[in-house]
Structure 1
Amino acid sequence: MIRIGIVGVNYGRTVLLPAFRADARCEVVALAGSDESRTAEHAQAVNVRKAYGDWRALIEDDGVDAVAIATVPSLQTQIALAALAAGKPVFAEKPMASTLDEARTMLDAADASGLPTGIDFNFHEIMAWQRAKAMLDEGAIGKLRHVTVHWHVENYAIQNRMRNWKTLRDDGGGVLGNFISHCFHYLEWFVGPLSGLQARVGGLPGDDALDTTVAMALQYASGSLASLSMSCASFRGSGHCIEFYGEDGTLVLDNRTADYMRGFQLSHAKRPGELTPVPVEDPADAGQPDGRIAPASRLAAKFIDCLASKPRYKPNAAPGFAAGFRVQRLIDAAQRSNREGRFVDVAPGDLK
């Protein structure tokens, strides 16, 4: 039995805990939070044996085999480095770190350790997205012309003018870290490597410190273009829609609901026909209290696949720290583009 310790008692408790518990090969044995008594209450409520008020104690626990992290980006680097140094594989949150240098340090440490790593980029584990990817790979729309992303919602942090990592760029977050990190990962997962981008990032009227909105033009290494419009400050926004346009057809993933994971509808049109729904079901999501659990459970299972092969670990779970670093490089490129007002090239295979 693989023993998992989770650092973070919000998302870590509500999503990662049930996600790992879905795999019979592992057991969540410990939680760590910033407040020991509160963490103990949470652990007791979800039947986890150990609770720590300091993440260091969890990592030092010989009864923990691997560490899952669900903290703010500014804390993740030191936690991940300590876990790897202790010989414990790491499943981390997105974005990987607060800065590109921190992400590079994490990747170097993971490579040197030879330990499995994972990153919680979970959108691509939605079953409708898996079906869309398979259809694209099978040539359902022919040669790709271009991709559009339109993601407009109003999240809780912006509704309440909260000043935390989800809204402030200085803590590794804001709209780029919280939302666009997902977009960068899935745009490359669907179609292939990006080669450059131009981005503009904005805030709220009278409060530019809160990063809320991005307009971006991107180019793939293949030559195809993509456009992205995203805002987490869109009252009654239209939701999350990704459109793939090809020589022979169109493929659309569209979610008009308030649930980030549930609600995606897949549609396909083959020239000269009309858009037609493509039915997709996810039995693993049935009855789950949170739409993020089923996708996260599939990522957790891939991570456990690697751990279960100890002492000769299987190739790293996908996405791992290399994917996290790649996204961090794209975030850095978007930040530079916004500052300098220019198109920024990003080598498709550039991990260092």
Structure 2
Amino acid sequence: MIIGVPKEIKNNESRVGMTPAGVLELTKRNHTVYVQATAGIASGFSDEDYQHVGAQILPSIDAVYAKSDMIVKVKEPIPEEYSLIKEDQVVFTYFHFAADQELTEAMIDSKSVCIAYETVQDANGRLPLLTPMSEVAGRMSIQQGAKYLEKPVKGKGLLLGGVPGVSPGKVLILGAGVVGIQAAKMAAGLGAHVTILDINMDRLRYVNDIMPSHVVTEFSNEYNIRKHIKTHDLIIGGVLIPGAKAPKLITRDMLKEMDHGTVIVDVAVDQGGCIETTKATTHQDPVYIIDEVVHYCVANMPGAVPHTSTVALTNVTLPYVINLAQKGWEKACKEDTTLFKGLNIIKGKVVYQPIAEAFGWEEVHQ
């Protein structure tokens, strides 16, 4: 198979779809890999690194799409890429269709095969291709939240971990999934007081078992959310329903109950966000303020640490890329039920129910 790795062109996206180590695993199996020139530079990989393992370097994104049977990338295609995607071409990437109707309709029109990293799901409900980026984003949410609590960037002027004689900050985490657990680890490590809310009691029991005593759990409901937003300094949105829009757990009216300078980091922004006032931002312009509450809603948080993120992503995507390359998408998805769930759109037809539900479409093709 011919696999293409284009350079990401989304705002401040510095990751790349595959490391040289991943390329080597494909070329030694006699697959052809085209990598766009400078695609890996920001992640620490030169064109020469790719050439040394058998990749061919192409000068433009147009050439990569034109020559490839399968595109392996990181973020969803943006409008400049829509016309480059060919009929029957496999596109393997993060899509987050439920939050973007324009993208969904463009991919339907392209008649390509869209396999979404974020809905590849195993029999235990785990999301193996989303997990590493959720780990990165969860850890980064505290790093960024602590920064934006500083007064020069309109935060409360609070040091999250406190100092002797001064109480630490309070962190409220919505969701005890991968993002929430990683955020709690980082916040607890800084010495902050942490409260995690979730509706899954098994997850809350797990948090209680593994976390120190200054990380506490409560059941997630509107009453408890309204109670805690009044007293917590940093709020992390980490709720995920695979492939579907995130539920709005904090509404616009709730902002008025928060102290001025409270910081919200909505990691669920890719799926529409779990805060009603969330709108996607970029690393170039990451925050905005509503009702004196600072919102950090960068849609590609792991893109700020591209070397870590690219290596972590390739570690988990590569076995699936190899499977697709060796067998073709139809056989690979038929034989692997985990990969099968990644199928979102096939040759003009939506095949993933939560996407149809997000836009009020009734027909889903099986």
Q: Under TM normalisation by the shorter chain, which class is it?
A: 0.3 to 0.5
With the length of structure 2 as denominator, give the TM-score of the two structures: 0.41
Q: Greater CA radius of gyration, 1 or 2?
A: 2
TM-score (norm 1): 0.42
